[in-house]
Amino acid sequence: MVAGAVRPAPFIQTRQYSGPAGEPRFLDCFKTFYDKAAALSGLPDGVLNSMKQCQSILRVEFTIKNEKGGYDQVVGYRAQHSLHRLPCKGGIRFAPNVDLQEVMALAALMTFKCALADVPFGGAKGGVCIDPKHMSESQLERITRHYTMALCQKNFIGPGLDVPAPDMGTGAREMSWIKDTFQQFNTQDVDSQACVTGKPVHAGGIRGRTEATGLGVYYGIREFLNYDEVLAKTGLSRGVPGKTVIIQGFGNVGYWAAHFFQKYGAKVVGVGEYNGAIYNENGIDVEALYQHWQTNKTFNGFPGNNKFLSADDATKILEFPCEVLIPAALEQQIHRDNADKIQAKLIGEAANGPTTPAGDAILLAKGDRVIIPDMLLNVGGVTVSYFEWLKNLAHVRFGRLNKKWEEQSKKAMLELIEKVSSRPLSEQDKVAVVSGASERDIVYSGLDDTMCNACEETRSAAKEYNTDHRAAAFLVAIKKVALAARQSGKMFTW
C-alpha cells in the first residue's frame, strides 16, 4: 500500500454479525415481533406500516490519523425512527459489528420503549463501526468528536432534536466528549448540556444514571415475581429472595443487575461474558467477581469451587440450571438451536433483542415459561436519561430546593410526636426518619414508579388480549404512539 494511503484498520474494519444459522437479521426479528402485536391492535394498515419504518437515517464516513502516522476510515450511523415526540432519544454504540440494519432496529425499539415507559421522546440510535477494546483513549476521543461534528452538521443532535446516550462500548467519558464538541458549535445555547445524557455528574450528569438500566431490570423482575398469574404459570415462589439467577453479560447492565439481585436476597449462580463463563450452584460473590473481572478481564482463576466455560462454550451458560435467566449481552443469544435447552422459568431480557422469534416461540410453547421483553425490562436507562435531560433544562439538581425544608418539617413532626407520646426516639431512628431525599433517592424512586406502571400496563394488556408479555408490551406502546400521531393532526390532505 502507498505510504499515507487511507485504509480501514483491522480494529476498525466491519465484522458483520450474521447471528445464529437459519435466523433472520435483527431488524427482521423486530419486524416479526411488531407484526404479531400490530395484528391485535385493530389499527389501520397505513398507520401500522408508518410506525414500523425509520423516518431519517444518516451515514457518515470520515478519516482519522492513527497512532502509527497512517490514516484510517471510520463509518458511523444515526437513525431516527419516530419524530412523534421530540427530541429523539437513543444510545450510541461503538462495536465492530455495527451496521445500518442493527441501528435501524434499535432505533425502532427505542420508540416503543419510550412510549411504554411514558418517556416523551421519539426513538433513535447511533453506532460507530470500531472495536474500542483495541484503541487508545486518544483515538477514541478523536473518533467521538469527528462523529459528533458530523451529527452537528446534519442537525442530528441537540437538546430539542436528538439526544444520544451511552450504549455498548461507550460510557460517561464518551458522552462528556460529545457534550464538549456540541458546545463548541453552540456557544450561546444555555441548554447545551442537555444535548446528551449519561454524562459524568461533574459535567451535568445525574446521580443514579450509571446503574439505572441494571436497577430497572431488578425492579421489573421483582414486579413479575409478585404477579399471581406468573407464579402459577412458572411454579416459582413469590419474591426475589432465594431465587437462583444467571446473568449473561458482565458489563454495566449485567453487573448492576447482579449487584441488586444479590443485595436483595437472590443467589447469583452463573455469569457469562464473551471470553468465558463461570457457574457455582452455591452462589457467587458478585462484588468479588467484578473486581477479579476488572483486573484480569477473565473469570479464570476466581477462587472457589466453580465451573469455568471457555470462550467457545460461553453461551452455554444460558442453559445451566437457574430460576431466573437474564441475557444482558448481545442480540440473538436465545435462538432455535438452544431455546429448548433453557432451564430458567423466568427470562428477563436486559439486552436489546436477545431472543429471536423462533427462540421465543419455543420457550412460550413449553407453557411454563414467562419472558419479560427487552422493551419493557431495560427502559431504566432511558428513564433516568429523561430525568438527566430535565435536570439540564431546569439547571438545578433534584432535591436542592427542598431537601433541608423536608428534613426540618420531619424533625418538627418527630418532636411533636415525642412530646405528645412522652416516648423519646433513639438518635438512629431520628436520623432514618428525618433524612431528606437526595438526588439518587429521587432518581431511584422515579425509576421504581416508572417500572411498576409499565409492568402493570403490560400485565393488563396480556390478560386483555390473551397474549404473551412481548406482544402485550408492543400493543401498549403502539397504541400510545398512534394516539400521539393522530392527535397531532395532518399538515397535508390528499
Active site residues: 125
How far apart (Å, rounded) are the C-alpha atoms in residues 171 and 198? 7
Cα 196 vs. chain centroid, distance in angstroms? 15
Tell me, rounded to whole angstroms, the distance of Cα 50 from its chain centroid.
Answer: 25
CB atoms under 10 Å from CB of 18, counted, come to 10
| The three cell numbers locating residue 200 | 459524568
Q: How far apart are CA 222 and CA 243, in angstroms?
A: 11
Residue listed under C-alpha cell 439526544: 163
Residue 397's alpha-carbon distances to 34, 191, 204, in angstroms, are: 38, 14, 9
Long-range contacts of 464-472 (CB under 8 A, 24+ apart): 465/40, 467/37, 467/40, 468/360, 468/364, 468/371, 469/370, 469/371, 469/372, 469/373, 469/376, 470/33, 470/37, 470/360, 470/371, 470/373, 470/375, 471/33, 471/36, 471/37, 471/40, 472/37
Coil, strand, or helix at residue 348?
Answer: strand
Q: How far apart are CA 158 and CA 162, in angstroms?
A: 5
- Which of 184, 179, 187, 183 lies closest to 203, judged by CA? 179
Instruction: Give the Å distances, CA to CA, from 398 to 380, 381, 386, 402, 440.
Output: 18, 18, 13, 9, 9
The counts of H helices and E strands in the chain are 16, 13
What residues does 166 pair with on adjacent strands?
92
DSSP type of residue 21: T
Instruction: Give the strand order in the sheet containing 276-279.
Output: 307-309, 276-279, 267-273, 244-248, 324-327, 346-348, 370-372
The cell numbers describing 43, all together, are 389499527
Query: Which residue has cell 390528499?
Result: 494
Q: Is residue 203 exposed (0-12), middle (13-18) or buried (19+ Cβ within 10 Å)?
A: middle
Q: Decide the pairing of beta strands 244-248 and 71-80.
A: unpaired
